[in-house]
Amino acid sequence: MKANGEHFENGAHLIPVNVLTVKVNESSKIKGTSNPIVISTQGQTLISSAGRGSKLNIDLDYSIPEARSASTDILGKAAGKFTQMITYTVSALYF
């Protein structure tokens, strides 16, 4: 997964994408090795070594960790919708 830009955007108002962390929710039907990922413009693997199946779903949790400086990155920004394209790529490997 990766963000297509460095910021969530609302006109001239910007919030860095790295305020948001994504992790695989325990309710996902896809099981494998996963770790929380801080969103960035660099491609990162969200889950690896997943089992096989055609009707598996992945549930994701999005959060802003307390460690982030909300006062400088988020609070005080203009009200409204901030957007950014996040690309998820799924690859299947067969041996």
pLDDT in 10s for each residue of the chain, 95 residues: 999 999 999 999 999 999 999 999 888 888 888 899 999 999 999 888 887 777 778 889 999 887 666 667 888 888 999 999 999 988 776 65
- Do 2 and 43 meet the contact criterion of CB atoms below 8 Å apart? yes
Exposed / middle / buried, residue 88 (Cβ in 10 Å: 0-12, 13-18, 19+): exposed
Query: 91 in a domain, yes or no?
Result: no
Query: 34 in a domain, yes or no?
Result: yes
Instruction: Locate 3 and state its tokens.
Output: 């963000």
20 alpha-carbon distance from chain centroid: 7
The model carries a pTM of 0.80
Domains in the chain, number: 1
Q: Which pLDDT belongs to residue 70?
A: 63
Range of the domain at 33: 2-64
d(CA 1, CA 89): 6
Query: 89 in a domain, yes or no?
Result: no
Query: 33 in a domain, yes or no?
Result: yes
